[in-house]
Amino acid sequence: MSWAAHQFEVYAVQAHLPKKMKGKVSFWAIFLGDFTPDFLSKFWVYGFTINGTRYGSDVPHQWHRGFPGMGFTHTLFFGAIVTLLIWSWKKNRAFTVGYILGYAAHALTDINDSVGVMLLFPLLTLNFTSETWAYAATIDGGKYLDAAAYYSSLGLAMDVFWLIVVLFSWRVLTREHWRTEIVPPDARIWAWFGRWLPERGLLALYRATFFYGLCRMISWSAWARLFADPDKYGEFDVTSRGFPMDLSWTGPYWLDARSLDHVNPWIAYPAALTLLGLLYVVLIRLWEPMGRKEAEHRKSQASRRIDA
Amino acid sequence: MSSEPISEHVTVPPDFRGSRRLVGKEEWFWYLLAAVSYILLGIWHKWLLNWFVGPVWLVAIVVIGPWITDRIGITGRRSGGER
């Protein structure tokens, strides 16, 4: 799984919208779309303990990304269904397009760990994975071992990659960008927050996901490198304090990477990029028709209100 | 410590609530304070590192911090309309 990458990609998507969508796609929808896959599945991956009894999945990676399991939550198919429901309910183009973009970003980023995602679900229940780093969520290790493995492997490089993408588009974090491109598509939501928060709070709220991603990346990395006691999380081929860094493919070496039945890893990136390209083309083509439909919907709603 | 106030709010018009905006060095100061405190506390208190506490941490420091320093006079005179 990916960690801070999922926070950074929200801003990266926002910064790299097609020209005609700039300032017209909901930031909160991108955030929500990116958040949904793990929100629906992750609570049971690590599980929780009450009065000494552990509640959670017996095979975390199967539950998280597999079939049977909640793996469908990390598929474009499920993302598209939820997106269609949102569209048929609200007829809001800014939110609908933002949601599927956020959802796709999450699902496609997750092909990088050793478990991957079912990119072609329901046509194919095999996972697509590039096996770049080890998926490490286990019953015994929980979130701590997962973090230690991620931030001791190329997972950290993935977080840094997305951080650099955002930093190259640093204007996306400025007050000017927030005022001109983020607020207009979500005017009602910002107005609602504005009932309690001053402008500096609203701007902080917009930047908060980036802030959280950056801080958790540094905090978990520092802990894994300098302070963690590996013996607490299992038996590893590690002698020093802190988990060793290993930037080899499917690393770190000191942990068995979890895996599910999958296609050839060489297919993962081409398949993901093809799907991303297809999504891009579909959204570009649907942009104007969706805008017309939204305008019609608003017009009919307005006349209904007048009639009432 | 410099005798100049770290706030540059005197020249910046207040926002829609009459609260002052953060700009320049003062804005950097509050964001850095939030980041350093959250990172350091997060290393030893992992329960803080979640998607709810993180954003709330930043918003709370950026909103409440300047309000407190205004009240005790560190950042110069208060914006009259601040609520």
The full 3-state SS of chain B, as one line of letters, equals: CCCCCCCCHHHCCCCCCCCCCCCHHHHHHHHHHHHHHHHHHHHHCHHHCCCCHHHHHHHHHHHHHHHHHHHCCCCCCCCCCCC
* Chain-chain contact of B49 with A220 (C-beta, under 8 angstroms): yes
Q: Determine the pLDDT at residue A259.
A: 95
Answer positive or negative: Cα dihedral of B52, B55, B57, B59: negative
Q: Which of A219, A220, A221 to mutate to test the interface with B (most CBs of B within 10 A)?
A: A219
Tally of domains in chain A: 1
Asked if A192 and A205 touch (Cβ cutoff 8 Å), the reply is: no
Q: Determine the pLDDT at residue A304.
A: 84
Q: How far apart are CA B76 and CA A192, in angstroms?
A: 30
Q: Determine the pLDDT at residue B3.
A: 46
Query: What is the CB-side half-sphere exposure of residue A301 using CA atoms within 13 A?
Result: 10
Does pLDDT of B82 surpass 70? no
pLDDT band at B6 (very low <50, low <70, confident <90, very high): low
The tens digit of pLDDT for each residue in A27-81 reads: 999 999 999 999 999 989 998 889 889 899 999 999 999 999 999 999 999 999 9
Of the candidates A123, A140, A113, A155, the residue with the CA atom closest to the CA atom of residue A259: A113
Q: What residues contact residue B44 under an 8 Å CB cut-off, 6+ apart?
A: A227
Asked if A61 and A41 touch (Cβ cutoff 8 Å), the reply is: no
DSSP A244: P
Please give the mean pLDDT across all residues of chain B. 84
Residues in chain B with CB shorter than 8 Å from the CB of A206 are none
Q: Which of A211, A214, A217, A225 to mutate to test the interface with B (most CBs of B within 10 A)?
A: A211
pLDDT tens across the length of chain A (308 residues): 899 999 999 999 999 999 999 999 999 999 999 999 999 999 899 988 898 898 999 999 999 999 999 999 999 999 999 999 999 999 999 999 999 999 999 999 999 999 999 999 999 999 999 999 999 998 888 899 999 999 999 999 999 999 999 999 999 999 999 999 999 999 999 999 999 999 999 999 999 999 999 999 999 999 999 999 998 888 887 777 899 999 999 999 999 999 999 999 999 999 999 999 999 999 999 999 999 999 999 999 888 888 87
Q: Could you give the percent of chain B with pLDDT greater than 90?
A: 63
* Chain-chain contact of A144 with B49 (C-beta, under 8 angstroms): no
Map residue A51 onto helix, strand or coil. coil
pLDDT band at B77 (very low <50, low <70, confident <90, very high): low
Which of A143, A209, A219 is the closest to B55 by Cβ?
Answer: A209
Q: What residues contact residue A201 under an 8 Å CB cut-off, 6+ apart?
A: A193, B59, B62, B63
Q: Which residue of A lies nearest to B44 if distances are taken between CA atoms?
A: A223
Q: Determine the pLDDT at residue B2.
A: 45
Q: How far apart are CA A148 and CA A228, in angstroms?
A: 8
pLDDT band at B1 (very low <50, low <70, confident <90, very high): very low
Counting every residue, how long is chain A? 308
Closest CA–CA distance from residue A224 to any residue of chain B (Å): 9
Strand runs labelled E in chain A: 48-50, 53-55
Which of A198, A214, A223 is the closest to B63 by Cβ?
Answer: A198
Q: A50 lies in which domain range? A: 4-307
Does pLDDT of B35 surpass 60? yes
Average pLDDT over every residue of B15-39: 94
Does pLDDT of B5 surpass 80? no
Residues in chain B with CB shorter than 8 Å from the CB of A211 are 31, 34-35, 38, 54-55, 58
Long-range residue pairs from A120-124, CB within 8 A, at least 24 positions apart, any chain: A120/A271, A121/A67, A121/A71, A121/A72, A121/A75, A121/A77, A121/A78, A122/A72, A122/A77, A124/A263
Q: How far apart are CA A261 and CA A62, in angstroms?
A: 10
Q: What are the angstrom distances between the C-alpha of A210 and each of A80, A200, A202, A205, B22?
A: 26, 16, 14, 10, 18
DSSP states of A130-172 as a string? ---B-B---TTTHHHHHHHHHTTSHHHHHHHHHHHHHHHTGGG
Q: Determine the pLDDT at residue B10.
A: 52
Counting every residue, how long is chain B? 83
Q: Determine the pLDDT at residue B81.
A: 46
* Chain-chain contact of A220 with B66 (C-beta, under 8 angstroms): no
Would you call the peptide bond into A252 cis, given omega within 30 degrees of 0 as the criterion?
Answer: yes
Closest CA–CA distance from residue A212 to any residue of chain B (Å): 5
**ipTM entry:** 0.93
